[in-house]
Amino acid sequence: MINPFPYLSNGYQWLQNPYHFLDQKLKTDGLTFRKHLPILGNVVLTGEPALIQKIITSGEFGKGEGVGALKSILGSHSLIMKDGKEHLKRRIIVAPNFKGKAIAEYDEATIQYTEKIFYELDRHKPFSIYQIIQKISLRIIVVAIFGNKEQEELQYIESLVEKFLQSFKSPLVLFFKPFQVNLGKYSPWGKALQNRENLCSYILQEIGLNEIKKCNSILSHLLGAKEDGIPLQKEEIIGEVFALLLFGHDTGAATMSWVIAHIYQNPKIVEKLQVYVKQEYNAGSELTYLEAYIKESMRLCPVVVHLTRKALKDTTITHYKIRKGDTVLPCTYLAHHNPAVFTEPYQFFPERFMDGKTYEYSYFPFGLGVRTCIGKPFVMRQMKLILSVLMKHFYLQFAPNYIPKPKRHFVLILPQQGCLMVKK
């Protein structure tokens, strides 16, 4: 009889604190190993650059089951649900919204809203950085998608999005089929579908308005876009908007929670960055020094600990036989803590990123290859702007007795309570 304890132990550790789980496996099993994990099943994890390169570039692996689980919410027509040539064609349509001049248009709004939110915080009253940055990021992504609107309508849209996202506070609702039973609005899945329908109705209303009067927004761009010479269908546009709302602000807020946690653990770093920002902020600088601190924080504590790929054919990963349909995990956390690539991998050392080095297949907080997050330039720019505002205008510190320990929040890993801070 098989002893179930190791499986239960692995599962509990993985769900509670995957950082600790992976640290232990790195010590005992190295950078590549096979484990049975909740929801994911029997998988091979690897942090070895050469193996990750094979998984991403060989053509032997496609998008993972984790993406497939989103079909009931996003439909089957959005960028994240597509693979191969269909994915590339849709990416060409969506990606330009998150590059260059398109994202620079939101700089002033990001700066002003960040200043407003932090000025309104009570002094010496603990607050969650995650919740505050989430609020800022949500406002900017809503403006980007739907265009600038009156304050009351922006708040209404945000309430629809927040209710929609709250439907999946427990990942079981999204990823575990037995929980996806509609027993009416008081059941978790029924409530999720109702919240989706409410948001969907608003998007359809906005599609109608944009068809009559164009505005400068992502929604307007999608309405005018063509794929193979054919305009996108409403269901496709709705799927893209849902995907952007689901992933467009939460990950950045989680990442900023760790950035703040790492920076404020050392008062000398805070002082150094405050001096830097006050010298560079008004000079139109790209704030590359801040970028190095953000990148090092993402290396040390990636909020998404792995990518997911499914084998399209029988193959091997080192000595492990991989059958068609098996899942492999290019593991962000393992790769980011590979001592052969990153000297003293558990130390916060931003200088690693000050010489422009990219660490190909060893550093990938935004994913890899053709499935790299299209919002990467947008999120990086937003994080630099928000951090620069905090360094220039505000004095923060950890809430009394607060220690930023990792804790799972949905599919993301955050510092517990979202990094509790106080404004001095």
Tokens standing for residue 373? 């997050």
What residues does 409 pair with on adjacent strands? 412
What is the separation of C-alpha 418 from the centre of its chain, rounded to a whole number of angstroms?
15
**Interatomic CA distance for residues 276 and 343, integer angstroms:** 26
pLDDT score for 68? 62
pLDDT at 66: 60
Residue 383 CB-density burial (10 A; 0-12 exposed, 13-18 middle, 19+ buried): buried
User: What was the pLDDT predicted at 29?
Assistant: 96
- Phi/psi for 168 (5° steps) reads -115, 30
Q: What is the DSSP annotation of 148-214?
A: ---HHHHHHHHHHHHHHHHTTSSHHHHH-GGG-----TTSHHHHHHHHHHHHHHHHHHHHHHHHHS-
Q: Has this prediction a pTM greater than 0.75? A: yes
State residue 2's pLDDT score: 47
Burial of 289 (0-12, 13-18, 19+ CB in 10 A): middle
What pLDDT is stored for residue 183 in this prediction? 76
Sign of CA dihedral 261, 263, 267, 271: negative
Q: Distance between CA 342 and CA 320 in Å, rounded?
A: 26
- Nearest-CA neighbor of 96 among 231, 225, 228, 242? 225
pLDDT value of position 167: 79
Q: And the tokens for 178?
A: 């037995």
pLDDT value at residue 286: 67
Q: Which residues does the chain have with pLDDT short of 70?
A: 1-8, 64-69, 169-176, 178, 211-214, 281-286
Check which CATH number belongs to the domain holding 412 and give it: 1.10.630.10
- Encode 37-51: b = buried (16+ Cβ within 10 Å), e = exposed: bbebeebbbbbbbeb
Please report the pLDDT score of residue 299 as a whole number.
98
Host domain of residue 266: 5-423
pLDDT tens-digit series, residues 30-58: 999 999 988 788 999 999 999 999 999 99
Q: What is the pLDDT of residue 283?
A: 45
Vertex 369, ends 368 and 370: CA angle to 5°? 120
**pLDDT value at position 326?**
93
| Residue of 242, 273, 60 whose CA lies nearest to 164 | 242
Q: How many domains does the chain have?
A: 1
